[in-house]
Chain A
Amino acid sequence: MNELQHPEHNDNCLDQSILIARRDNELPADEVAQVEQHIATCGDCAANDRLITSGGSEVYTLLSALDPAPGEVPDPVTALTKLHTHLRETTPLKKSAPVLKALPAEKKSSFVWRQLRRNWVAAAAAAILLALVILPNASALADQFLSLFRVQQFQPVNIDPRDLSSHPLPGIQDFGTWQATANSLKLQDNLTQAQAQRLVTFPIALPAHLPQGLVHHPSFAVVKGGQLTFTFSAAKTHAYLVRNGHGNMSIPANLDGAKYSVSVAPGVEMSFDSRDKSFMVIEIPSPTIRATGSASLNELRDFMLSLPNLPSQLVAQLRQIDLNSGTMPIPVPPQFTAQHVTIHGAPGLLLADNTPIGGIVVWQTHGMIYALGGDIGNAAQLLTTANSLP
């Protein structure tokens, strides 16, 4: 029998739809035990089950080859701005309102929170790297050809969307290419706590206290770890400059091929969503960035800072951050307030809506980054929940 042929079926054998539902965790809990008992005693079904599992694994692994590189998924906020512009240009309105101004107060916090919900690790990796290369004060790092940066604390950086709507920040993919190890940063969702625990290297901590109105049994997802390497490309950079009307800008020859790798260990995402509210807890080991290659970080940064149209206020704020202390900049939109807080003695950052409803708390301790929040609860409740993590 070749591997694409299915074992013979007899009257007692389980239907394929049952085996595949079991594989996909779609079988009712009370049926799983019966099915597993049958498989244990039926050679045909056991063979069929193995075939369905390995076949599915092959199909979905092949399909994952179609995914965009982690750094190439457009930022939802930028995409929303584009859509907003498109609607304005194609729909004559009596009056238009800024994106966030039009949101009801209780939805403003979720606007930012939702940005974290998908591909947050990939986005964070790209953001860290972009911040790193345009930060001017990391002299100790920049003078070395081999450098290591580990996220240890956070610093708010105020972002004014009006600055970015006319001149969006360049994406890291405009200057080179990302390469990722197989299955890097893939999200594996619909897991039980036990399944999630097996996939991460740290003990998963659940909050003892939650804001009211949330489910108390979260769904678990694990973002697989991996290594992403960014390689600077003079050709891509030149193409970007040409597209933006600065084709005559010169690119230092030794930048071509400079490499930066971001290492991320598997992290867990717990969703305590109720019907109309969203609340999430994220736990992930601090990522590290290693820089190697033919050009120093100083040379790369000098070039990046010379790019036209970087918002001057943003650059000025970034200049204040000392990367030697492992500080990671966190962008803060104008309708949010940022506040330094202490969680279990570790420094953290609380981003809260001005009303204040909801928000996000993020902190780092013992090599782990924790973040929690959503569109429910006020700042005090968020801090209570954060401090209730063991």
Chain B
Amino acid sequence: MSSDIRNRPILASTSEASFETVFTRYYSLVYQLAYRCVGQSDEAEDIAQEVFLRYHRVPPKAESEAERRSWLCRVATNLGLNALRSRQRRTKREEQVSETVRRSTPEAEAQQDPEQHVLISEQAALVRSILAEMPERQQAYILLRSTGLSYAEIAQATGVATASVGALLARAEREFRRRYHERVTAPRA
């Protein structure tokens, strides 16, 4: 291969900051973003590691700290939300299978523990599932804002104009609240 990764030192420096400096400065932020999406420490660690592996393989052409931070947050958010959505799809499939089984064995339904939904109603699971159901761009806007990114950084990470971020955030927040209130006020099955 022409740009053989094996010939690159593990600790290759970018023009403005060494890999270690970037790693130690932003690891916690990247981990927290990933954790917000997946809620499991092992998976969040894997995602954070993957983010920095990508950074190491092909460092972004970042001319400022803000650009570097935006790049890391964008990759962490994309990977985290992909993992969350994929889990959500898996869970739905499993629920559909369970539903089929329940229908075919009504006695199982009769024996179902009425408290089994208590876990689902835990705040983190509820919030995470609402997040997973939102339009992809809106997920990213509120997730990035919740970690303290400025409008300019959010714009950089999502490829929109900085001037549009306020309106997009307002829409995303409203959508999140609408779905949340729908869920908490919906009668339980």
Contacts and interface: CB of A to CB of B under 8 A. Distances in A.
Interface of A: 4, 6, 15-21, 24, 26, 52, 55-56, 58-60, 62-68, 72-74, 76-77, 79-80, 82-84, 86-88, 91-93, 96-97, 99-100, 102-104, 107, 110-111, 114-115, 117-119, 187, 189-190, 273, 275-276
A97 B151 CA distance: 39
A47 B49 CA distance: 45
Interface stretch (B70-78, B93-101, B111-119, B169-177): B169-177
Contacts of B6: 91-93
SS class, residues of chain B in contact with chain A: helix
A63 B10 contact: no
A103 B19 CA distance: 9
B81 interface: no
Given A77-B24, A83-B23, A96-B10, A103 B18 contact: yes
Contacts of B36: 63, 66-67
A-B pairs, top 5 by smallest CB distance, nearest first, are A17-B166, A118-B28, A17-B167, A102-B11, A114-B24
A100 B45 CA distance: 22
B20 A103 contact: yes
B18 A80 contact: no
B27 A4 contact: no
A74 B131 CA distance: 24
B166 A18 contact: yes
Contacts of B56: 87
A73 B32 contact: yes
A68 B166 contact: no
A99 B24 contact: no
A114 B11 contact: no
A190 B148 contact: yes
Q: Pick the most buried of B9, B28, B142: most chain A CB atoms within 10 A of its CB.
A: B28
Given A17-B166, A21-B166, A83-B23, A104 B173 contact: no
B150 A276 contact: no
Contacts of B170: 16-17, 19-20, 52
Contact of B148 (A4, A15, A189): A189
Given A64-B146, A77-B24, A99-B11, A107 B18 contact: yes
5 contacts: A20-B169, A63-B143, A80-B27, A103-B18, A107-B18
Contacts of A275: 64
Interface in B134-178: 142-143, 145-146, 148, 150-151, 163-167, 169-170, 173-174, 176-178
A24 B27 CA distance: 25
Given A52-B170, A63-B127, A79-B48, A93 B24 contact: no
Nearest to B148: A189
A4 B178 CA distance: 7
Q: Pick the most buried of B24, B127, B145, B151: most chain A CB atoms within 10 A of its CB.
A: B24
B41 interface: yes
A26 B56 CA distance: 32
Nearest to B52: A83
A21 to B, nearest CB: 4
Interface in B1-58: 5-6, 9-11, 13, 16, 18, 20-21, 23-29, 31-32, 35-37, 39, 41, 44-45, 48-49, 52-53, 56
B181 A59 contact: no
A97 B13 CA distance: 13
A4 B181 CA distance: 9
B11 A59 contact: no
A103 B24 CA distance: 13
Given A99-B20, A103-B20, A68 B177 contact: no
Contacts of B177: 4, 55, 58-59
A19 B166 CA distance: 8
Nearest to A102: B11
B123 interface: yes
A83 B53 contact: yes
Nearest to A22: B166
B85 interface: no
Contacts of B145: 24, 60
A26 B151 contact: yes
Contact of A91 (B10, B26, B164): B10
B124 interface: yes
Given A76-B24, A83-B52, A68 B41 contact: yes
B176 A59 contact: yes
Contacts of A62: 123, 127, 176, 180
Contacts of B21: 103, 107, 110-111, 114
A97 B41 CA distance: 29
Contact of B150 (A26, A56, A80): A26
A85 to B, nearest CB: 10
A93 B150 contact: no
B164 to A, nearest CB: 8
Given A26-B151, A59-B146, A111-B24, 15 more contacts: A4-B178, A17-B167, A24-B151, A55-B173, A62-B176, A66-B124, A74-B27, A76-B24, A82-B49, A86-B53, A87-B10, A91-B6, A97-B9, A110-B21, A275-B64
